[in-house]
Amino acid sequence: MSIRGAILFLAVTLAGYATGASAPAKVAAERAPTYSAEIRRTAYGVPHIKADDYGGIGYGFGYASAEDNICEILDRMVTVWGQRAEFLGSGANNTNIESDLYARRLVQTGEVERLLNGPAGSPDTPSADARALVRGYIAGINRYLREVGADGITDPRCKGKPWVHALTEMDFWRHMFIGQSTTSFVAPVAQAAPPGAAQTALADDIQEVTELGSNAYGLGKEVTKGGRGVLLGNPHYPWTGVNRFYRAHFTIPGKLNIVGVSYVGMPLIRMGHNDKLAWSNTVSTARRYGYYELTLNPADPTQYRYEGQWVAMTKTPITLQVLRGGRLEATTRTLYSTRWGPVISSRTFPWTRTTAFALRQPQVGLRDVDQYMTVWQAKSVREMRTALGRYQAYRFNTTATDASGEAFFGDMGMIPNVTPALAAACSLSDLAKTQWRDQRIPVLDGSRAACAWATDPDSTQAGVFGASKTPQLFRTDYVTQSNDSYWLTNPAQPLVGYSPIFGNEDAARSLRTRLGLDQVAKRIAGTDGLPGKKFDIKTLQQVFYSDRLLGAELVRDDLVALCRRSGRAKVQPACGVLASWDMKSNLDSRGAHLFRLFVEAGGLRYKVPFSASDPVHTPNTLDVSDVRVLAALETAIDRLAELKIPIDARLGDVQGETRGGERIPIHGGLGADGAFNVIELTAPQAEKGWTEVRTGASWIFTVEFTRSGPVSQGLLTYSESVNPNSPHYADQTKLYSRKGWDDLRFTEAEVRKGTESRKLVSE
C-alpha cells in the first residue's frame, strides 16, 4: 500500500468508526491528500521520510525538521526577508543592518522571479520535481506551525516571537539564491559608498571561509578488502549557525533511496549515499569570485569608464526599519552596482575619487535543488561526474566512490575563467598584480570588454571554466581531500597545469593533508598496527578515531631532548609529560593540551624544508637550534599556569562541549597540531579549559559497498536539534565522545527494525 493510500485508509477507517458509516461508502467520497508522508524516527531522533513522490518527501522533511529546528529555520528566513534589524535591532557594529541591505538588494533585482520563469529544460530553471519538493517542504513547515503556534514552540530562542509565521515558496527560493555562506561578502557590499558620503569605517576584506573544512577518502577496489568502494566523509563545520547539518533519509519506493545530511533549512541530502554511489564534499581552494578595477570620472565618482564611455552606476535605494530602544526607525541607504556586479569597499579595495572595485561572482542561482536531485539518481561516479558537469552548482570539491570500486575527485563548480594570460593582460595596478600573484584573486580592468572572463564550449554559464577544464580524477586505488588544492589528491598521479585560480601546485601541504595520505598508505600496506591490509568499514572507522597528531609525531622526541638538555627549571616538569604522552588527542591523552599551546606559540620550526619531490613527508625534523622552539614551550607552560590547568591533565578533563549545563568530554585536535579529526574550540577558561566547540568534525560517515549492498554508519557530532529542550540536543554529542557509531539504516528492513516512533502526516 502506498503512503497516500495508507493515510487515506487510516483517515477513512477512523471516520467510519466515529460516524458509524461503512468504510466502503466513505472511500468513494474521500479525496486523496495533496501531500502525505510517513516519518519514522530511529535512534537519536533521525527522521526517515517515506512518501510516494517528491512533494511528499518535502512535506515529511519540512514537518520533521521543524519539530527539531524551527527556530533555526526561521532565523534564516528573517535574514532572507531582510528584517533582522527590524526584529532584532541593528546588531553589533550594525551587522543586522548590513545583512538586511545585502538581502534586500538581491531580492530587488527580481532575479529569482526571472529564474523561476525561465525556459523548461534549462539548468537555471527548476524542474517540476524540484518545485514539488520545495512546495511540499514549505507545506510541511507550515503544517507544524499551524499545529503548535508561536507560543507552543518549546525552543526559547523563538517562542512567541513576532517573526514566527507561515513561509512561502518564494521565501525558500530566495533563501537558495542568497545562499548559505555569503557573510564574508555582506559588509564590503553594504558599506560601499562614494567618497564624501557618510559611511562607517572601511570593512574587512572579503575572506575565504576559514570556519569550514573537511576530510574525505574515496577508496577504490584496489585498496579495499571487498574489492568495492569504501568512503569516509568528515566535514569540519561550525557547530552553530547557518551551515549546521541535519541527518535524514528519503525513500520513494521504486524510485529513490538516499541517506545522509542536509543543511538545516534545505530538503536536500548533500552528502550521503544511495545503493551504488557514496560521496562527500570538502572545502575547495578555488576562488569563486573576482574583482573589476573601475576607473572613475573625475567629475562624478559614481561613473566608470567602459569602452571609452562614462557609464553611470546603477543606484538602488533601500529603506529599512531598525528596532532601536523599543521603537522602529526608518533608515535609507543607497547601494551601487555595475555591469560586473556590486561596488564594494574595504581596507584593501577602497572607493576613492579615482578608483572603485566591483565584485563579480558566478551565479549558481537556483540550480542546487536539481543538482542534488540528479546526483541522488546517479549509479556510478561516472554518472555523478556527468551530473556535476550539467549544473556546475557545487561550491565544494567532490570525493566519491561507487559499488564497482571506482573513486572520483572533482572541483567542478563555477570557477571564474581567468587564465594567467588574461590576468597578465588585464591587471592594471600594482594592487591587482599583487592580488593575483599572492592571493590568486583576479582584479581585472573594468574598462575593457576584452577583460571579461572567458567562456568555454562546455561552460554552463558565461565566464566560468567548462566542466572539462576543471580538476578531476578517476582512480581505482584512492582519492583523498583535506582542503589543500587538487594537486596531491593522489601522489601517484598529481594534478597539474590548471589556472592558479583553482589552487597551488608543487607547494607544501598541510599537516592534515599529509596525515590523511599517510593513514591511507599505512592501511594499504598493513603497517598501522591494525589487522591485515587494506580497508573495510571497520578499519576505516578505527583509522579515523585513532586521533593521531602528525605534528607531535614529527617533533615530540626532539622537543623532549631539547627540553631536558636546556636544564631550565621551568620546563623540566613538561619534559616528562611530553615524553610519556601518546602523541594523540584521545580523552585520556596527557600532554595534548600542552602541545597545542606550544604550537599556538609558534614552536613548530622545521629543519628539513619542503621538497616537491617528497611532499608527503616534508617539511620535517624539529629545528632545535631555533631559539623560538624552547621559548614557545615556556610560553605554553606559562599559559597553563595562568589558567590554573595542570600540564599533565587528561585532555578529556580540559576539553569539552557544554550542553544544558552538562560538560561532555570531547576528543580530537587542531589542524595546526596535525590532527585529522579536527576539533577547534573557543578560548580556554581558567580552571576549566576549553568548554565549547567552535567548529570541527560535524557529520562523520563511513560507507562500504558489499555484495549485499551498502553498509553505512555515521553520526552528527552536535546532535539533531538546536533546541535545548529537545531529547536530541546532546545525544549524538555523547556518542561522539565515546567514539561510537550509529547505523544509517539504509534498507527498509533496517528502518523498521530501528523505528522508535512513527507518524503519518498529510493534507
Identified catalytic residue from 214, 262, 499, 726: 214
261 vs 270: CA distance, rounded Å:
6
| Section 399-428 average pLDDT | 98
115 vs 245: CA distance, rounded Å:
27
Domains defined along the chain, listed by start: 64-209+288-360 (1.10.439.10), 216-285+372-423+456-529 (3.60.20.10), 550-675 (1.10.1400.10)
Residue linked to cell 556546475? 392
Whole-number pLDDT of residue 196:
81
- Residue 439 DSSP class: I
Place 32 in a pLDDT band, splitting at 50, 70 and 90: low
To the query of whether residue 214 is one of the catalytic residues in this protein, the response is yes
Give tens-digit pLDDT for 486-543: 999 999 999 999 999 999 999 999 999 999 999 999 999 999 999 999 999 999 999 9
703 vs 379: CA distance, rounded Å:
15
- CA torsion angle 706 710 715 720 (round to 10): -170
In this predicted structure, the answer to whether residue 11 has a pLDDT above a threshold of 50 is no
- CA torsion angle 694 699 700 704 (round to 10): -170
Whole-number pLDDT of residue 241:
85
Whole-number pLDDT of residue 12:
35
In this predicted structure, the answer to whether residue 17 has a pLDDT above a threshold of 70 is no
| Section 255-275 average pLDDT | 97
Q: Which of 295, 546, 277 is nearest to 385 (CA)?
A: 277
User: Residue 682: what residue type?
Assistant: T
Query: Which residues touch 76 (CB under 8 Å, ≥6 apart)?
Result: 175, 242, 264, 265
How many residues appear in the chain?
A: 763
Count of CA atoms in the C-beta half-sphere (13 A) of 679: 31
Whole-number pLDDT of residue 5:
57
Give tens-digit pLDDT for 593-624: 999 999 999 999 999 999 999 999 999 999 99
Give tens-digit pLDDT for 442-478: 999 999 999 999 999 999 999 999 999 999 999 999 9
Are 6 and 760 within 8 A, CB to CB?
yes
Whole-number pLDDT of residue 40:
98
Burial class of 494 by CB neighbour count within 10 A (0 to 12, 13 to 18, 19+)? middle
Whole-number pLDDT of residue 242:
83
Q: For the chain, how long is the longest CA-to-CA vector?
A: 95
- Residue 494 DSSP class: -
Q: Could you tell me if residue 667 is left (phi over 0), alpha (psi between -120 and 50 degrees) or otherwise beta? A: beta
Whole-number pLDDT of residue 6:
55
| Section 142-164 average pLDDT | 97
Place 1 in a pLDDT band, splitting at 50, 70 and 90: low
Backbone angles phi, psi at 466, to 5 degrees: -65, 155
The H-or-E segment that residue 139 falls in is helix 128-152
Are 112 and 380 within 8 A, CB to CB?
no
Q: Which of 703, 700, 755, 704 is nearest to 732 (CA)?
A: 700
What is the average pLDDT value for the chain, to the nearest integer?
Answer: 94
Query: Which residues touch 716 (CB under 8 Å, ≥6 apart)?
Result: 44, 245, 246, 247, 261, 698, 699, 732
Whole-number pLDDT of residue 580:
98
236 vs 403: CA distance, rounded Å:
26
Residue linked to cell 545583512? 99
| Section 751-758 average pLDDT | 98
54 vs 126: CA distance, rounded Å:
14
Least confident of 11-20, 337-346, 362-371: 11-20
Kindly report the CA angle at 265 between 262 and 269, in degrees rounded to 5?
20
Whole-number pLDDT of residue 8:
44
Least confident of 184-188, 531-535, 680-684: 184-188
Burial class of 450 by CB neighbour count within 10 A (0 to 12, 13 to 18, 19+)? exposed
719 vs 84: CA distance, rounded Å:
27
In this predicted structure, the answer to whether residue 20 has a pLDDT above a threshold of 50 is no
* Strand 355-360, strand 327-337: pairing: unpaired
The H-or-E segment that residue 209 falls in is none
In this predicted structure, the answer to whether residue 656 has a pLDDT above a threshold of 70 is yes
| Section 148-163 average pLDDT | 97
- CA torsion angle 444 446 451 456 (round to 10): 90
